[in-house]
Amino acid sequence: MQKTKVTRIEATIYKFFEKMTKTDMLILDDFGLTHLEQQQQLDLMDIIEYRYGITSTIIEPILKLLID
């Protein structure tokens, strides 16, 4: 998600979103490992919404297993 911050600064965010929509499969591995700033959260939601019903997106969250 750091890439969205840089593209926003460079004013190329729409090109980045277009690239993410054209990718056949997007895999977000270790999702939740770091905190996303509010704008990064909105950017991620936009990417997921753009991709919905068009291409595949896999989100692999970090799960902490509690064993008693």
**Domain extents for the chain?**
2-61
- In this prediction, residue 62 carries a pLDDT of 75
Helices (H), 1-68: 2-9, 13-22, 38-51
Beta-carbon neighbour count of residue 67 at 10 Å?
3
Is 50:21 a contact under the CB 8 Å cutoff? yes
pLDDT digits 0-9 by tens, 1-53: 566 666 666 667 777 777 877 888 988 887 777 788 888 888 888 888 888 88
Taking the C-alpha atoms of residue 47 and residue 18, their distance in angstroms, rounded to an integer, is 9
Note the pLDDT of residue 3: 61
**Whole-model pTM?**
0.63
pLDDT of residue 47: 85
